Structure 1
Amino acid sequence: MAPSVKSRELVIPYIHVAPAPEADSGAVIGQSMPMAAMFMKNKLLSWVTLITAILALLNSGGNSAAASETAQSPFVRILMAVVSLGVCYMDLVVPGSSGIKKKSTESVVEKISETIATAVSSATK
Structure 2
Amino acid sequence: MATQKDMRRPDLIVPYQAPATKEDTADFSSSIASTLPMAAMLTRNKFVGWASFIFSLQTWLGESAEAKVNSGTPSLFSVGMAFMALAVTYLPMFLPPTGKAASPAQAA
TM range (shorter): 0.5 to 0.7
Calculate the TM-score normalised by the size of structure 2. 0.67
Distance across 2 between alignment mates of 1:23 and 1:88: 29
1:52 matched to which residue of 2? 55
Offset at residue 33 of structure 1 (A): 1.4
Larger helix percent: 1
* Contiguous gaps of at least 5 residues in structure 2: 1-9
- The code of the aligned residue for 1:54 comes to L
**Cα offset for 1:18?**
4.2
Higher alpha-carbon Rg: 1
Long gaps (5+) in structure 1: 1-6, 114-125
TM-score, normalised on structure 1?
A: 0.60
Distance 1:14 1:46 in 2: 48
The answer as to whether partners of 2:33 and 2:59 remain within 8 angstroms in 1 is no
Q: Aligned partners of 2:21, 2:55: CA distance in 1, in Å?
A: 26
- Would you identify which runs of 4 or more consecutive aligned residues in structure 1 move more than 4 Å? 10-18
What's the secondary structure of 2:100's corresponding residue?
helix
Identity within the alignment, %:
26
